[in-house]
Amino acid sequence: MELLAPAGGMESVRAAVMAGADAVYLGQKGFSARQNAENFDGIALKQAVDFCHLYGVKVYQTVNTVVFEEELPALSETLRTACEAGVDGLIVQDLGVVSLAKTLCPAMPIHGSTQMTVHTPKGAQRLADLGMTRVVLAREMTLKEIEEVIQKVDIETEVFIHGALCMSVSGQCYMSAAIGGRSGNKGSCAGSCRLPFRVRDGQKGEAYDLSLKDLCAAEQIRRLEEIGVTSLKIEGRMKRPEYVAAASAAYRDLMEGRPADLQTLRAVFSRSGFTDGYLEGKIDGTMFGFRGKEDVTAATGEVLGKLQEIYRKNKQVFPISMDFEMEPDCPAKLILTDGEGQEAAVLGELPQKAVNKPTTKELAQEALGKLGDTPYYLDRFTANIAPGLMLPKSKLNALRREAVERLNKLRTEGREIPFLQEKAVFPQRVAPLPKGKFPTIRGRFASFDQLSANWQDDFEMIYLPVDEVMEHAAVLLPEKGKVILEPDRILFGTEEKTIEKLTVLRKQGFQKLGVSNLAHIQIGRELGFALYGTHFLNITNSWSVEQYRRFGVQDIVLSMEGNLAQLGRISVPDGTRGAVVYGSLPLMIVRNCPVKRYESCARCRGRNAVTDRLGNRFPVICNRSKYSEILNCKTLDLSDKQEDFSGFDFLELYFTKESREESSKIVKRFLQKGKPYGDFTRGLYYRKIR
């Protein structure tokens, strides 16, 4: 297996390499999901890549954010820089970025980021069919679920084994953006969930009911190897180099059968200790934790100093052969061979006649074998030295340095990826969206019982959960042309059952499927559904639109993280542009319900909330114990702003916790373009996220 370590800056790159990582992942200054890390510009990126390649370590660059239309030219430059540096692959979230990379640098390997929310075989198969070489699986998966993907899909798998666990499934968190305009999908997450949130009112002290302990898979390494995982990934591009060194060294020891120093690893960074709850399927209250005072003070100067010793000196890891020749009237010659096909030959000074002390094989080996500041150690030395000759030690040292420099160059050069500059053309939509067109209205309902009184007449189409449609199929069949089936957003362990249900409904005549992830798309294509993209696909640019269109997605609800100006620039075929304009929208989707920390699912009414330090209540909605959604404390409401959306083709009302009566009133108000009431928000449509 590959051990993959994080690097937020050059010192962390050194720490990873010297501590035993097989690969590092890092980001440039832009389009990286850790925008607050030091990151790398063009020259620094090239230096980091060359350093890693010198030691036989691969480099994967993160381009794992969503990208807006106006950012495409800058993205093109980011890809060009990656190609010139010779990175070994890109880790990508946005399918538009995938499409663009395949156009501009088709030889570049592309990995699907965990931000793509791939957590089932069908999702991984969609990436494999797209020609991507690796999938970074969701951190919330169990060992059994990981094994199922590996057994069913021919694609490399990358699995997180250590570091921070987000409360929300990656790629599906909008909390930071909604609260403060800093988007996790843009790499600027403010870590809102690490702040105090409480499930129980009146609880003494601060509660951190949206904060999980850090992952530690030390006990699962052999099992991960047995099931065939390709790459073991350590989280932490925002963390200090000492953390990178500690984690890389510990897991290198574990992978090679040696005991690991987990005590030091915990001291350098943890949140109330570690957890392996997701991997083991023990998803309960023991997984929660936060970074307290004792966690901070554990990282003493002695601990950090010990870890710095790991990476401050270069490590000699590659055996080389030296062949030295010194003949009269000929320049001294040194040949270095690294055993991997690279040979560096250099010529030095003419030897002198020895007056007192001739250069012997032993003296030559002593000078030439000083390789302590290089990646090499001397494995074999031969010398052909004519009698009576001498070369000063300074000249021997210079000969060695030149030979090592040349060998280094041979080991690092020629890694560039071809970049097709002529295809980097991005005509932007500058004309405003057409005015005066009245979009149609669609409704998304969490249950059949919420359907407004005149839904058949009020809505162009409605979205309903698959289980609700199955239960009320007889009533809905006469209107099946208006019904878009909505599968569970997350399919941990339920993908096969979902396919069975959709197969039944397809045979009954239902033809439309709402798709919120890549697994939905793969399933829908295989079963012959017409596909309709939801806003959970995080579509923010024309290249992404086109890629989903090639998948067969007929129309698209654009990302709710874009403002109106940004969404208006996206080229979308006529009749296919949609936006969500009402709803208590999900800010997180979580596998470990915060309410379950305090009471069992059997006792839970399914209508709870978490409260932040300011007293805002965020409803927690349970999806039949499969997962929970944490809704915004304020309801998005644009009933009186519909003129601003006149260039869109349809608008979606997203009902979550409303009763039938409430739904009917809201629909009527939207149809009459009345004003909102109560505590509401305009969302991000009039703001710009970071």
pLDDT digits (tens, 9 = 90+) for 160-179: 999 999 999 999 999 999 99
Q: Are residues 45 and 126 in the same domain?
A: yes
* 258 falls within a domain: yes
Q: Are residues 25 and 60 in the same domain?
A: yes
Q: Are residues 307 and 336 in the same domain?
A: no
* Chain centroid to CA 576: 28
Q: Judge whether residue 33 has pLDDT over 90.
A: no
Strands 461-465 and 389-390: unpaired
pLDDT of residue 429: 63
The residue among 314, 349, 372 that closes a domain is 314
pLDDT digit string (tens) for 270-300? 999 999 999 999 999 999 999 998 889 888 8
CATH number (domain holding residue 71) = 3.20.20.70
Task: From 95, 211, 224, select the one nearest 149 (Cα to Cα).
Answer: 224
- Any residues with CB less than 8 A from the CB of 450 and at least 6 apart, and which? 655, 658, 659, 660, 663
The residue among 261, 284, 314 that closes a domain is 314
Spatial distance between the Cα atoms of 270 and 246, rounded to a whole number of angstroms: 12
Q: How confident is the model at residue 447 (pLDDT cuts 50, 70, 90)?
A: very high
* 617 falls within a domain: no
Partners of 342 in the β-ladder: none
Q: Are residues 379 and 327 in the same domain?
A: yes
Q: Judge whether residue 426 has pLDDT over 90.
A: no
* 62 falls within a domain: yes
pLDDT digit string (tens) for 602-640? 777 777 999 999 999 999 998 876 899 999 999 999 999
Q: What is the mean pLDDT of the chain?
A: 94
pLDDT of residue 120: 98
* 593 falls within a domain: no
Rounded to the nearest 10°, the torsion over CA 360, 363, 365, 366 is 170
Span 415-436, mean pLDDT? Answer: 80
Span 30-35, mean pLDDT? Answer: 80
* 428 falls within a domain: no
617-623 sheet: strands from edge to edge: 197-198, 607-612, 617-623, 627-631, 586-590
pLDDT digit string (tens) for 190-248? 999 999 999 998 777 789 999 999 999 999 999 999 999 999 999 999 999 999 999 99
pLDDT of residue 428: 67
Percent of the chain's residues with pLDDT above 70 = 99
Q: Are residues 465 and 406 in the same domain?
A: no
Q: Judge whether residue 661 has pLDDT over 80.
A: yes
DSSP annotation of 276 reads: -
- Any residues with CB less than 8 A from the CB of 210 and at least 6 apart, and which? 167, 193, 194, 197, 588, 594, 610, 630
Largest CA distance in the chain: 109
Q: Are residues 394 and 260 in the same domain?
A: no
Q: How confident is the model at residue 534 (pLDDT cuts 50, 70, 90)?
A: very high
Q: Judge whether residue 427 has pLDDT over 80.
A: no
Is residue 281 within 8 Å of residue 144, measured between CB atoms?
yes
Task: From 501, 511, 580, 515, select the one nearest 551 (Cα to Cα).
Answer: 515
The residue among 374, 393, 412 that closes a domain is 412
Q: Are residues 230 and 273 in the same domain?
A: yes
Structure tokens that stand for 125 in this block = 């198969």
Q: Are residues 295 and 359 in the same domain?
A: no
Strands 577-583 and 650-654: parallel
Higher pLDDT, 473 or 432: 473
pLDDT digit string (tens) for 117-154? 999 999 999 999 999 999 999 999 999 999 999 999 99
Task: From 240, 288, 285, select the one nearest 267 (Cα to Cα).
Answer: 240
**pTM score of the predicted model:** 0.95
Q: Are residues 16 and 115 in the same domain?
A: yes
- The count of structural domains within the chain is 3
DSSP annotation of 430 reads: -
Q: Are residues 565 and 662 in the same domain?
A: yes
Q: Are residues 373 and 235 in the same domain?
A: no
* 419 falls within a domain: no
Q: Judge whether residue 570 has pLDDT over 90.
A: yes
* 177 falls within a domain: no
Span 451-466, mean pLDDT? Answer: 94
Least confident of 123-137, 188-202, 425-439, 576-590: 425-439
pLDDT of residue 36: 75
Q: Judge whether residue 41 has pLDDT over 90.
A: no
Spatial distance between the Cα atoms of 76 and 100, rounded to a whole number of angstroms: 8
Percent of the chain's residues with pLDDT above 90 = 88
pLDDT of residue 514: 98
Strands 553-557 and 577-583: parallel
Spatial distance between the Cα atoms of 513 and 502, rounded to a whole number of angstroms: 9
Q: How confident is the model at residue 431 (pLDDT cuts 50, 70, 90)?
A: low
Which 3-state string (H, E, C) describes 155-197?
Answer: CEEEEEEEECCCCCCCCCCCHHHHHHCCCHHHCCCCCHHHCCE
Q: Which domain holds residue 61?
A: 2-165+212-314
Q: Judge whether residue 436 has pLDDT over 90.
A: no
* 179 falls within a domain: no
Q: Judge whether residue 659 has pLDDT over 80.
A: yes
Q: Are residues 217 and 336 in the same domain?
A: no
pLDDT of residue 551: 98
Span 22-45, mean pLDDT? Answer: 88
